[in-house]
A and B are shown apart, each in its own frame.
Chain A
Amino acid sequence: MAKKGWDEFEIGAMLRTFDGKIDDIAGTRQEDRAYSQNSSYTASVSDWRLIKPVFNKDYCIDCQFCWIYCPDVSIISRDKKLIGVDMDHCKGCGICVEVCPTNPKSLLMFPEQAEEETVIANWPKKDEEEA
């Protein structure tokens, strides 16, 4: 993937998502697509994030709510199973946590520097409704 110089772009405020022609893009998974340098897929914007979602698969029911609601297509789902979060593009908005219906939630927000193993080990217990 060649880096383009300042004077090598085409006219107009436009960028090409792929170098050259593509076909069957709908049938090709994101990680298998030949995105160009100009596609946002190849750019990490993780430094926009202050807090991050951590996914705990023990409680996930694969309802896909987070996948549907994520405004940045950063929930990675394969064969209708949630497998993780694209941390290069997640902005830490917390919408996935907000819409998660499980009890306890399968996604929770933590400070950027929190260690995943530690927070999963200390995951909150089921919130019992008061009688």
Chain B
Amino acid sequence: MAFDKMELKDVEVWDGNYAAAQALRQAQVDVVAAYPITPSTPIVEGYAKFTADGYVEGEFVMVESEHAAMSACIGAAAAGGRVATATSSQGFALMVETLYQASGMRLPIVLNVVNRALAAPLNVNGDHSDMYLGRDSGWIQLDAFCPQEAYDLNFIGFKVCEDHEVRLPCMVHQDGFMTSHTAQGVKTLSDDAAYGFVGEYKPMNDMLDFEHPVTHGVQTEEDWHFEHKARQHNDLMTKVMPKIQAAFDDFEKLSGRKYNIVEKYDMDDADVCVVCMGTSVETAREVAGEMRAKGIKAGVVGLRVIRPFPFFEIAETLKDIKAIAVLDRSSPNGAAGMLFNEIAGALFNTGTKALLSGYVYGLGGRDLTKKHLVDLFNELQANANAGKVTTKLQQFIGVRGPKLAYL
């Protein structure tokens, strides 16, 4: 079956969803099994249309739930195809059981997660609750802050996760609506350049190799299970980061766009900094620039790779900072925020004098405004001046009513 190529302008005006759909087309994904959910639907809808219009040599499989969607993706990946899908929120939650199957079976599936809040109360807008729900599932997690990055990180995702030394599935995250539905200029790759970057899919242990029959998804009990899980964790911890770095380097050579495992903005001489993810990174970056004009040496750290967590890179980046704010866009529901805990863990035992405070913000699509961040940087500077955290360790930003602060 032949397919047509698409002529793209050097810069197209795309939202994050369409950018991701175009990336799935250019990677010539063999199978997308999907169930629609806001705000991720246009990604799989886009792939379906490209397939129907003859721009992809692939198969779109309509299923009855997200659990079935990921299950079909797992089957297709085990059969030996390049596989991707997309979901959000409740759909992601329904997928969770199968996410662990995909990673344990070492199947390189790319899942676009358009981050959205988790009910109840029902909410279609962006926060990081679903992203946090996937953090122990054994997937690689890459985070895009804008449509351009949602496009680029899909290619990087395929390249890394399909590597035979990796063979672990990969989520590409983007913020619901803020990225997924905000059209921006996206610098494109030609179809040939994009496909050349991800390369032809190389099957491994595929079920369609009839001369080497294989059973996928076997059972192990107490005498085998731990070793399988330990090896999976080992590979995620030791093999993935070098492959991501190599893919970033190759991608920079191809496109001129440079990605980093930890994205640092004005961090070289920063006294205070904000650590956050998603679209908030861009807002924080703008405000940090303005704070510098007011004499506060502000920096921003954006987490490009959430899993595997860049433990030592984070420690190295933050160890000389005087006051750090960690922003969690997901309700921790009874603990400190995930990102706060990860960063506290990375800094512990390092001898750093950095003061760490955590903030919960933006739940259910609540805006994080520049004013919020100005106040935040001022608070950090006050901490730095006082030589101690002057506030509670866990505060809420942008929620109505009396100021909430815990811990």
Contacts and interface: CB of A to CB of B under 8 A. Distances in A.
B176 interface: no
A13 B218 CA distance: 5
Nearest to B217: A13
Nearest to B211: A21
Given A16-B212, A16-B214, A21-B212, A11 B224 contact: no
A20 B211 CA distance: 8
A15 B215 CA distance: 5
User: Size band of the A side of the interface?
Assistant: 10 to 19
A12 B212 contact: no
Contacts, number: 55
Contacts of B231: 11
B213 interface: yes
Contact of A15 (B104, B106, B214): B214
B213 A25 contact: yes
B214 A11 contact: no
User: Size band of the B side of the interface?
Assistant: 20 to 34
A22 interface: yes
Interface string B202-218: 00010000011111111
A6 B223 CA distance: 9
B213 A12 contact: no
Contacts of B218: 13-15
B261 interface: no
B285 to A, nearest CB: 39
Given A17-B213, A18-B213, A11 B227 contact: no
Contacts of B235: 11
Interface in A54-77: none
A38 B211 CA distance: 16
Contact of A16 (B107, B213, B224): B213
Contacts of A127: none
A93 to B, nearest CB: 19
A32 interface: no
A12 B106 contact: yes
Contacts of A12: 104-107, 167, 205, 216
B349 interface: no
Contacts of A6: 223-224, 227
Interface string A1-40: 0000011011111111110111101000000000000100
Contacts of B216: 12-14
Contacts of A11: 106, 167, 231-232, 235
A21 to B, nearest CB: 5
B211 A22 contact: yes
A38 B216 CA distance: 12
Nearest to B223: A6
A21 B216 CA distance: 18
B212 A13 contact: no
Interface in A76-114: none
B215 A17 contact: yes
A23 B214 contact: no
Contacts of B205: 10, 12, 14
Interface of A: 6-7, 9-18, 20-23, 25, 38
A-B residue pairs, 7 tightest by C-beta: A12-B106, A17-B213, A11-B106, A15-B215, A21-B211, A13-B218, A14-B216
27 contacts: A6-B223, A11-B106, A11-B232, A12-B105, A12-B107, A12-B205, A13-B104, A13-B106, A13-B216, A13-B218, A13-B220, A13-B228, A14-B105, A14-B106, A14-B205, A14-B216, A14-B218, A16-B212, A16-B213, A16-B214, A17-B214, A18-B212, A18-B213, A21-B211, A22-B211, A22-B212, A23-B211
